[in-house]
Amino acid sequence: MTIYDCVIVGSGPAGLAAAFGILESRPQARVLLLERARVSSGGLRNDCKMNFTWPIGFPSEYWTREIAAGYLFRTEEFLKPAIMGQTNLSTYQRRAERIGVELLMVRQSHLGTDGGLRLIKDLVTRLESSGVEVSLEEELVSIDRATKTAVTGKRSVGYDQLVVAPGRHGFDFLRQFMRANEIEYTDNSIDVGVRVETKIENYPIVRDYYDPKFLFPERTRTFCTNSGAAHVVQEQYTAANGQPYYSVNGHAWSNERESNGLVNFAVLRSVEFTRPLASGQDYAEFLAQLAMLTGGGHPIMQRIGDFRLGKRTTKEGLNEDLYDFAPSLASCTPGDISLAMPAKFLRSIWKALKQLDTIVPGLLHPATILYYPEIKLYANKPAFRDQYFQAAEDIYLIGDGAGTSRGITGAWASGLRAADGIRRKKGW
Ligand SMILES: Cc1cc2nc3c(=O)[nH]c(=O)nc-3n(C[C@H](O)[C@H](O)[C@H](O)COP(=O)(O)OP(=O)(O)OC[C@H]3O[C@@H](n4cnc5c(N)ncnc54)[C@H](O)[C@@H]3O)c2cc1C
């Protein structure tokens, strides 16, 4: 059996950064990077917009401004992003302030889905040429802590240090992993919302600021804006009961592709549960399955014009002349999101959308589409033993799946931080 100095699980930004971080302090380290897909499957691959300003993507329970600043600096030094300009925002800012909304100014870069794929290939090639063994389509199944053995779908390998970074899609895997290895965790918060899609002319702020971050009252915010050659997509997950469900998301190609004139972004509300409801994941799965039930097995979409009138959107209604663009995710079921979304989320989100329409007039054009559900699962909170995300002896849990990040740069920073912990512990 081969024994590695470090086995890293997941080739998203968290796993990649952990590998680079380890090599930086110990170039001769024997590192295995396992990836269950054919290519890294997270945000590096989808849209790949990166935010380089705290607190975007950095959960406050783990990242102070000072700690994040050092890691953001290192992340930027390494990835060398082309930061985009931001212009003509003072009017939007003034309007926002007047109604109690904050427009956060965030340094951003945007590669697009095609640019992200190029970046992934480049990073993986660099790791391989530095001696890292990158094994695609190989999944971690379980570990034996006593013998420090990792069992994959193909073989057993030994590890000295184990870094697990399975992302949001690996949320359920990580839960089972923590249970099996007696790592305590909580899972009591959740983000639920809609994805909004409209013509760029109805939300022209994106010409001046690619991914404008608005913070509304009631823990509601805009998130992950995509424009140009932009599409709403659906991601499939499997609930604990084996039922598949979807969450919508969005991405855009780089500006080398022709624009379809559309923009999409999420409006999400965060909620933290207290007893007796303990699991954000269970709740999320229940909500998503309710959406699947009302949507006949698909997510739901509804035009703002219909939503305001309290009536469902119909297939025929999608083509009336007021409704002047076709949905980019045509497989969604035209319907009534208020049948599926709890009032606590719906009220805050509708309030936020009306405020946003005051700041950027035109957003609530009758043709604008709301897609539901968009659910973010980054609520696993392992009980860490140190500030480097060590959750059990020689086991580090990082990235979105472990709740240490909520975006590419935060995930990258978590990888560097875990590598720092390993370096200090091992004296590398
Ligand atoms: C459609 C979409 C668009 C997004 N756009 C953006 C964006 O533009 N900007 C942004 O900042 N964030 C974006 N995000 C969020 C972003 O994906 C995450 O914040 C980030 O990728 C988290 O990094 P990570 O390394 O924790 O996990 P991931 O990037 O999800 O990587 C985890 C990897 O682990 C692998 N894996 C899981 N379980 C196992 C296992 N058992 N064995 C082996 N491998 C395993 C997965 O296949 C995956 O490749 C987007 C997400 C999606 C889904």
Shared domain for 389 and 422, answered yes or no, is: yes
Ligand 1 within 6 A of CB of 355: no
Q: According to the model, what pLDDT value does residue 43 have?
A: 65
Ligand 1 within 6 A of CB of 172: no
Q: Give the residue from 376, 392, 418 where a domain finishes.
A: 376
The tokens for 325 are 């663009």
Shared domain for 269 and 306, answered yes or no, is: yes
Ligand 1 within 6 A of CB of 139: yes
Shared domain for 409 and 370, answered yes or no, is: no
Ligand 1 within 6 A of CB of 235: yes
Binning pLDDT at 50, 70 and 90, where does residue 168 land? confident
User: Is 213 inside a domain boundary?
Assistant: yes
User: Is 215 inside a domain boundary?
Assistant: yes
CA 291 to each of CA 43, 111, 131, 296, 372: distance values in angstroms, whole numbers, following the listed order = 24, 32, 47, 8, 7
Nearest CA among 133, 120, 123 for reference residue 45: 120
Distance from chain centroid for Cα 170: 12
CA 246 to each of CA 4, 26, 370, 381: distance values in angstroms, whole numbers, following the listed order = 37, 42, 15, 23
Shared domain for 16 and 160, answered yes or no, is: yes
CA angle 401, 153, 419 (to 5 degrees): 45
User: Is 275 inside a domain boundary?
Assistant: yes
Q: Output the average pLDDT for the chain.
A: 94
Work out the average pLDDT over 18-25.
Answer: 97
Q: According to the model, what pLDDT value does residue 379 have?
A: 64
Shared domain for 142 and 211, answered yes or no, is: no
Shared domain for 370 and 387, answered yes or no, is: no
pLDDT, tens digit (0-9, with 9 covering 90-100), for 71-122? 999 999 999 999 999 999 999 999 999 999 999 999 999 999 999 999 999 9
pLDDT, tens digit (0-9, with 9 covering 90-100), for 318-363? 766 678 899 999 999 999 999 999 999 999 999 999 999 999 999 9
Q: Indicate which CATH number applies to the domain containing 163.
A: 3.50.50.60
Asked if 96 and 102 touch (Cβ cutoff 8 Å), the reply is yes
pLDDT, tens digit (0-9, with 9 covering 90-100), for 45-85? 888 999 999 999 999 999 999 999 999 999 999 999 999 99
User: Is 422 inside a domain boundary?
Assistant: yes
pLDDT > 90: percent of the chain? 85
Shared domain for 79 and 208, answered yes or no, is: no
Distance from residue 206's CA to the centre of ligand 1 (Å): 24
pLDDT, tens digit (0-9, with 9 covering 90-100), for 187-233? 888 899 999 999 999 999 999 999 999 999 999 999 999 999 999 99
Q: For residue 395, give its domain range.
A: 3-83+109-186+380-426
Shared domain for 144 and 286, answered yes or no, is: no
Say which residue the tokens 């890294």 belong to.
Answer: 40
User: Is 94 inside a domain boundary?
Assistant: no
C-alpha 117/C-alpha 46 separation (Å) is 8
Shared domain for 268 and 406, answered yes or no, is: no
Shared domain for 409 and 276, answered yes or no, is: no
The continuous run of DSSP H or E covering 19 comes out as: helix 13-25
Work out the average pLDDT over 390-409.
Answer: 96
Ligand 1 within 6 A of CB of 49: yes
| pTM for the whole structure | 0.92
Q: Assess whether pLDDT exceeds 90 at residue 315.
A: no
> Structural domain tally of the chain?
2
Binning pLDDT at 50, 70 and 90, where does residue 179 land? very high
Shared domain for 370 and 350, answered yes or no, is: yes
Shared domain for 202 and 328, answered yes or no, is: yes
User: Is 326 inside a domain boundary?
Assistant: yes
